[in-house]
Amino acid sequence: MNGLATEKVANGSRAHIVGWGMAVPERVLDNHGLSALVDTSDEWIRQRTGIVERHIAGDGETTLSLSLRAAQSALEVANLDPAQLDLVVVATVTPDYAFPATACLLQDALGAEHAAAFDLSAGCSGFVYGLSVAADLIAAGNYRHCLVVGAETLSRITDWSDRNTCVLFGDGAGAVILEANGASGGILSSVLGADGSGKDLLILPAGGSAQPASAETVQARQHTVQMDGRQVFRFATRIMPDASRQVLSQAGLAVEDVSLIIPHQANDRILQSAARSLGIEETRIYSNLSRYGNTSSASIPMALCEAIEQDLVKRDDILLLTGFGAGLTWAAMVLRWSLPLPVPVPPRRMTFWRNLRYRWVQLRSRWRRFWRRVDAHLFQILYDAEGRRKRGKGD
């Protein structure tokens, strides 16, 4: 029986990031490749967005498979066994299925047998929403270790004949492990917001209860992203600085205290505008947009991973994460980095055993699925036999 992996932790514990990882598909589609598909050019895409290339999921690659790779790396960095996880959250707008949640599939694939699991849909703000929820559950004393993933395969809901949208998006996943501990620092404050009156500005119109899938919805391309780019742009340039100021003031900090801003990667012009509005140099805003495009809820954790890898994050640094997206939603978070970097690389032997464990978990999951079918079959046989016995008595 599943249950909490750890005893209740102390109320008011702080959530600290102790592991991180990311994954992108191997296949890369650059702007020149795109200009073979739609009427666009490398020059237009670079100038208007800052994007040069993006990664696109290959056959068999899904939001789950990318999440799994990112989560395994994060667990490796945290030197944590999946059985120690209490919670798995996957922020995504491109789950493997409408249900069950991709988080449940991930929980099974990792063998996180004591973890609760759910998906979170808050557009490109999803990852920060997820971090905030997990941090609050840690502060309430409910959980000790939470895995928060932002993962997308946006290429599966992209209209590859619409130049207004197809140049923007890419696929990928990023994950972090949050740990409850008494040390100072960690997640200091967060601001989450929503304005559903902007629902039409960025929407996947069909496939839900409002417009169930039908031949007509497929023909009308209602199962792909539809966006009013200009309106979203205006919203983003206003909300990113507003939410950033609000979350900093909540934490008792000023813009000058921030070492690095890790924003949602949507458009370099949005980032430049945010820098101007906040009055900070662009070098303090991390951008990897050129290589990945907009990966929605994966963009902030992927950017965080790369900023760490590039030695841009040091102990006691104040980081500001900020995003916006479909909903409309927005989210901002301030944290004080509490872990010394770089983290020690786990010995090869340990990695070998971990990989073996993942193989075993996979086999166990298959066995459980098989046994469920056998069990159902046996139950049916017994049920039929019982029916025949009762009918025989009645005669």
Catalytic residues: 124, 264, 294
> What are the start-end ranges of the H helices in 140-228?
163-166, 215-219
Closest CB to ligand COA among 82 and 263?
263
4 DSSP assignment: -
Q: How far is CA 301 from CA 12, 17, 75, 306, in A?
A: 25, 11, 14, 9
Task: Give least dist CB 118 to ligand COA, A.
Answer: 22
Question: Total number of residues binding ligand COA (CB under 6 A)?
Answer: 19
Can the peptide bond before residue 342 be classed as cis, meaning omega within 30 degrees of 0? Answer: yes
> What minimum distance in Å lies between the beta carbon of 341 and ligand COA?
29
Stretch that binds ligand COA, among 43-51, 66-74, 85-93, 362-370 (CB under 6 A): 43-51
Residue selected from 229, 255, 259, 354 as contacting ligand COA according to rule CB under 6 A? 229
Q: Smallest gap, in angstroms, from Cβ of residue 223 to ligand COA?
A: 18
Stretch that binds ligand COA, among 6-14, 152-160, 232-240, 276-284 (CB under 6 A): 232-240
Taking phi over 0 as left and psi of -120 to 50 as alpha, with beta for the rest, 28 belongs to beta
Rule CB under 6 A: say whether 52 interacts with ligand COA: no
Say which residues have a Cβ less than 8 Å from residue 304's Cβ, sequence separation at least 6. 20, 174, 176, 262, 313, 319, 321
Q: Of these, 163, 245, 284, 354, which contacts ligand COA (CB under 6 A)?
A: 163
Q: Where are the alpha helices (DSSP H) in 310-347?
A: none
Task: Provide the β-strand partners of residue 34.
Answer: none
Phi and psi torsions of 26, nearest 5°: -70, -35
Stretch that binds ligand COA, among 69-77, 161-169, 272-280, 379-387 (CB under 6 A): 161-169
Residue in 8, 199, 230, 372 binding ligand COA, rule: CB under 6 A? 230
Query: Can residue 300 be called a binding residue for ligand COA (CB under 6 A)?
Result: no
Q: Are strands 14-23 and 171-181 parallel, antiparallel or unpaired?
A: antiparallel
By CB under 6 A, residue 295 contacts ligand COA: no
Nearer to ligand COA, 259 or 273 (CB): 273
Residue 111 in contact with residue 80, Cβ under 8 Å? no
Whole-angstrom CA distances from 104 to 115, 129, 143 are 9, 18, 17
- 203 binds ligand COA, rule: CB under 6 A: no
The verdict on 40 binding ligand COA (CB under 6 A) reads yes
Contacting residues toward ligand COA, per CB under 6 A: 40, 44, 48-49, 124, 163-164, 167, 202, 227, 229-230, 232-233, 236, 266-267, 294, 325
